[in-house]
Structure 1
């Protein structure tokens, strides 16, 4: 499927641009150790990420995808997680292969790029700076920038309004069903990467408009004519 050039491209962060699970798992296990609870490990954290750090911490406490832990325990755990994660943010993470090349290609086509993530701003900005990709985006919307975050369409619609672009002329590039649901609700086109964080499910089951294995394949699915 070849898509007509979008006037605006919104790109997810965790699981799409950067593999942040190693740092998130380190912070979760550090948090659990300080609470005298069992460590969860990178494999579980990789399955749990994608809905913001609050939900990640709850899943770690419960060792389960759903449910609500004791609120006092959760608040204590969330504080510990933030402290540890602030110290290790970006230390063990890596830019996914092909991302730099893909961003460069999009910029060579004069694409307007924005980063839309559920990660809190206090962690988003340092991470983008650490990997020297902050300057690629004309707008960054974090998980706490607005009253709602993905899968709610609000962040996408806010970006479209900010750039004065009609939603059907915009594209979301992400890795999870959250991105697909947000894009559909906002009236955006949606491309997903196959390698990201989608709770262990093949992203093709969510029926995005296209699936790519690398950002280097963007030129084969977006036609700038």
Structure 2
């Protein structure tokens, strides 16, 4: 729903600067997001610590990324909350698509691997919070997507059967969770899919804009 790549980039680079590490590239962030903030931090640290300009000064040792993880995670949370939504934009068609679903009386929930506090603040900042009866983050359940548990629990909260609950996502991560939970899944074509073509993912349909949710007959809704 929201292009948050700018938020990730700024928060990560402020975190890395505090650790005296080189800034992350936007391309790396795009390939790495989607599996939760913990995974993002670990992946970025491992990548940045392996850069030639870092290893040339002998700053890398075995387990260095793990040593830096806790201070990096704490700093990242602070920086992200400070700038949450300031460098992000709602994708075109999102408001229209959500409004169309609400007009049809469809119950909606937001399920993300982003920490719940981040998600709630972002939805409010972008005026999207009023569309969802439930919001769940990556820390709301014992496991994250692509594990099916968060999606199964979301269906329970909505009072719907998985087979009758459409999962709308933007990556293979979302599709795997939906398949494992027994939900039909549609993927938007404009999000982040770890650098891979999203149309190659096993899904029931693809949306170029959420406004296409006004007519979901092509995937049985």
Q: TM-score, normalised by structure 2?
A: 0.89
The structure whose Rg is larger is: 2
Deviation at 1:32, TM superposition (A): 0.8
Q: Name the Cα RMSD after superposition.
A: 1.6
**C-alpha separation between the residues in 1 aligned to 2:154 and 2:65?**
36
Q: Identify if the C-alpha distance between structure 1 residues 80 and 220 changes in structure 2 by more than 3 Å, giving closer, same or farther.
A: same
For 1:25-174, what aligned pairs fall within 5 Å after superposition? 25-63=9-47, 70-174=65-169
Gaps of 5+ in 2: 49-62
**2:212 — aligned with what?**
217
**Higher RCO (CA-CA < 8 Å; seq separation 6+):** 1
Checking the alignment, whether the CA contact within 8 Å between 2:108 and 2:158 is kept in structure 1 is: no
Spell out, residue by residue over 1:116-140, the C-alpha distance to the aligned partner (whole angstroms, 9 max, x if none).
0001012111101001111100111
More strand by share: 1
Tell me how many residue pairs correspond in the alignment.
206
Normalization by structure 1: what TM-score?
0.87
SS at match of 1:140: strand
| Structure 1 runs, 4 residues or longer, greater than 6 Å off | none
Q: What are structure 1's unaligned runs of at least 5 residues?
A: 1-16
Say which structure is richer in helix: 2
